Amino acid sequence: MDLEETKLPGVGLRHDFTTARGRRIGVISTRGGERELLVYSQDDPDACHAVIDLDGDEAEVLAELLGQPRVIERLARLREQIEGLATEGIYLEDTSPYVGKTLGDAAIRSRTGASVVALVRAGEVVPSPAPSQEFATGDKIVVVGTQEGVRATAELLQNG
């Protein structure tokens, strides 16, 4: 199955694929973390039959229902158990200075005190990514740390 990625300047990314039964489906990932699920018309492949807006929580629930490992759910439960622990999924935009660079290049833990515990790319979870893991546009980087450390990581990944 081919997954097409299209950059949407000022918006984010769109990923499209065609099912085995010929239905075209897409997802728009905005810079703000929202998602739009697109179901294209069978008669006109450029027209949408339905567009469903999803916030971050709804997108995660849908991903779980479709089979994404439950790493984020486990982290949420851990966050509830440990006061002061923050967990966040930070999306890497195409303007980030770390696109094409490695986790080791970013030195997130030493610079912010937060830890990268997973990377989600195209629905696939990479738990405990190695320092050699390369970042790509649209990656969701799951970070755990203090609230300040998580915020500093988001700023670092956005602006360097």
Distances (CA, A) of 86 to 58, 82, 109, 142, 143: 19, 9, 14, 10, 8
Enter the pTM of the model: 0.52
The mean pLDDT of the chain is 84
pLDDT class of 115 with cuts at 50, 70, 90 = very high
For 20-25, the CB contacts below 8 A with 24+ separation are none
Question: For residues 151 and 108, is the Cβ–Cβ distance under 8 A?
Answer: no
Indicate the SS3 state at residue 95: coil
Which residues make Cβ contacts (< 8 Å) with residue 79, sequence separation at least 6? Answer: 85, 86, 87, 144
Considering only residues 124 and 31, tell me which one the structure prediction assigns the higher pLDDT: 124
d(Cα 160, Cα 155) in Å, to the nearest integer? 7
